[in-house]
């Protein structure tokens, strides 16, 4: 079987073996810690962003300062993920998991017959979903920089760069994109992961917690490689991401209105 330009044998003798002396015997490393932390922190911040907008009155936050801070943190995380997709471990690098059209079609065809190969990182269909979610969230976070909410009581830091009509459009897209597209994709993402866990015996959600998958023949095992001192590298890239987001907004004259949390 072929996915993109990679030949997928029925049994890969070079799949990473489980270390019998390891307490994780019977499993192999799949996800590095920075990728897993990003995944769950992003999920938490998305929930926080929704709650702090929907229940701003109950939170006594008419100017949406909590919502705006969570949005800026999401934007920082997304910039970090773009950087980690270049400088991170192999299962996180875009060049390693984004499929070619042929690879995607081949994998989708194999799924129909229950003969799809396993991957340590994202499988081709999962890769498309991840890229779509990242693109949507990045678009929404960027739109949030230009929105005006709650009868003009609060606004994104770059709102003054758009006309009144432009701000209304950005605000409308910011809300409706999340409610009508992003939320549905998140639901599908969760559902598909549950289907793989229950019917395909591939514990994708558990792997994103532990960082490990059951020892098996994986199509991308030969290209698996990590990076030295991943947490240190991730911290440096996170600092750079914060500088890009907050420094960039400040550099172009952004206005952080009523952003104090105390």
Confidence band, pLDDT 50/70/90 cuts, at residue 5: very low
User: Which element (helix H / strand E) includes 25?
Assistant: none
Task: Summarize pLDDT for 168-196 with one digit per residue, the tens.
Answer: 999 999 999 999 999 999 999 999 999 99
Whole-Å CA distances, 71 to 61, 75, 118: 15, 6, 35
Report phi then psi at 24, rounded to 5.
Answer: -95, 25
> Are 238 and 76 spatial neighbours (Cβ–Cβ below 8 Å)?
yes
Block residue for tokens 């199509």: 219
Domain coordinates in residue numbering, the chain: 27-137+205-251
**Six-digit token pair at 230?**
């991943």
Which residues are paired to 149 by β-bridges? 154
**Six-digit token pair at 252?**
């172009």
Block residue for tokens 């909410």: 149
Instruction: Inform me whether the pLDDT recorded for 4 exceeds 50.
Output: no
What pLDDT does residue 114 have? 87
Distance CA 119, CA 217 (A): 8
What is the pLDDT averaged over residues 240-248? 97
Q: What is the pTM of this model?
A: 0.88
């Amino acid at each position: 079987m072929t996915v993109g330009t990679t030949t997928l044998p029925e049994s890969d003798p070079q799949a990473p073996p489980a270390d019998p002396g390891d307490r994780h015997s019977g499993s192999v490393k799949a996800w590095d810690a920075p990728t897993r932390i990003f995944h769950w922190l992003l999920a938490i911040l998305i929930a926080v962003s929704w709650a702090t907008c929907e229940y701003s009155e109950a939170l006594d936050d008419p100017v949406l300062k909590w919502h705006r801070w969570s949005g800026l943190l999401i934007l920082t995380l997304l910039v970090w993920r773009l950087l980690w997709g270049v400088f991170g471990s192999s299962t996180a690098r875009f060049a390693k998991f984004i499929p070619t059209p042929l690879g995607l079609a081949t994998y989708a065809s194999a799924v129909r017959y229950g003969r799809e190969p396993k991957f340590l990182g994202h499988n081709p269909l999962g890769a498309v979903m991840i890229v779509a979610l990242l693109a949507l969230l990045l678009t929404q976070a960027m739109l949030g920089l230009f929105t005006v909410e709650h009868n003009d009581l609060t606004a994104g830091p770059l709102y003054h760069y758009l006309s009144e009509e432009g701000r209304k459009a950005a605000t409308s897209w910011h809300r409706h994109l999340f409610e009508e597209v992003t939320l549905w994709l998140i639901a599908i993402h969760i559902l598909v992961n549950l289907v793989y866990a229950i019917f395909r015996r591939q514990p994708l959600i558990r792997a994103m917690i532990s960082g490990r998958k059951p020892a098996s023949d994986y199509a991308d095992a030969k290209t698996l490689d990590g990076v030295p001192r991943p947490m240190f590298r991730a911290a440096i890239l996170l600092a750079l991401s914060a500088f890009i987001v907050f420094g960039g907004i400040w550099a172009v004259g952004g206005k952080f209105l009523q952003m104090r949390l105390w």
